[in-house]
A and B are shown apart, each in its own frame.
Chain A
Amino acid sequence: MIMKKAILLPVIAIVAIASLALFSCSKKSSPTPPVKATLYDSLGGTAMVSDPAHSGTMIEKGYLGVRSVVDSTIFVIAADNRINGHFTVLLNEVTHGNLTGFAELSMNLSNFVAVGTGAKDYKYTGMSMHDAHDPSINTRMNGKASNADFDAFEADLVIGAQKNGVPANLITSLGKIVESLRSQVVQM
């Protein structure tokens, strides 16, 4: 009886392992749907690189790309009389903590764009686009944004992206994401 068990157990084990192997093989052979690369991936994704703005720290390449575009765009906006009235907070030397108006807006917008383009490791904790642009909800909004304001913002964003050498196809993808927010931002 003991002898029978001794023979049976290894046989069962071998059959079980073989079944598992076959099962896993059959899984591999079935085609898995390809993971679609996000715009964030195209901008560098989660590969870690050193952060040129903060020596000694690392940053995701995708986030660095987003932040570079956002920072360039902020410069363009700040010098654009069509919409810079909405962004005078940029020129605030201290807001809170050790952040200036420029640093705070750069961080908030970068997080928003990063999440919108597919980043998984960053969070945008600000108001929704609708609430942020509704003067009755957000007292910082000094009036409703018009289509002309939004057009100016998009044009400045394109200039900011071009200054960073972002390829035309990626600018188009970014433009589509931003354009999808028009109805939330323009509430006239």
Chain B
Amino acid sequence: MKIKTIKKITIWAFSVSMFLIVVVAVHIWAVYRPKAPGPDTKVMARIDLKPSISQVDAGKIATWMYHQKGVDHVLVNPDTRIVIFTFFPIKASGNDIVKSFNAELPYKGNRFMPTEKQLASSCPVAGSSFYYKVYKFIDNIL
């Protein structure tokens, strides 16, 4: 009788635990899964310029960038020959902006896209939460 009761309790405890684990896993996946960009979603992009540019050129580039649809904010550093800009992905595509940049301006540049390896080891403040790690684990299984 006693063994039967212990067996019952064990089965119930195991079932409830499994159920709770599944609920937590689904919840984490639902919260962390990539969602479609919204009207306020902003993406940052970078263009590495090939030739050297002056401060005047930097001003011209910034002015042109601000006239592109969907571009939010721009910074041009003539010393490092880097153009940084944010854009709204529901209004524009970063690749299209860079394509127009190369087609319409006399300055040539490439969009810098970090590799998976670079992303995995960049910025100590981002994406290091326990939940995020669990999400990535589940995502890899799915």
Q: Which residues of A contact B (CB under 8 A)?
A: 53-55, 71, 74-76, 78-81, 84-98, 100-105, 108-109, 112, 125-127, 132-133, 138-142
Contact = CB atoms under 8 A, between A and B. Distances in A.
A79 B128 contact: no
B73 A75 contact: yes
B56 interface: no
Interface residues of B, number: 43
B36 A92 contact: no
Given A71-B73, A84-B82, A97-B32, 8 more contacts: A54-B40, A75-B75, A89-B126, A91-B114, A96-B127, A126-B125, A132-B125, A140-B128
A116 to B, nearest CB: 13
B77 A103 contact: no
Interface of B: 31-38, 40-46, 73, 75-77, 80, 82-84, 86, 89, 94, 112-114, 118-129, 132, 135
Nearest to B132: A96
A86 B125 contact: no
B137 to A, nearest CB: 13
B9 to A, nearest CB: 37
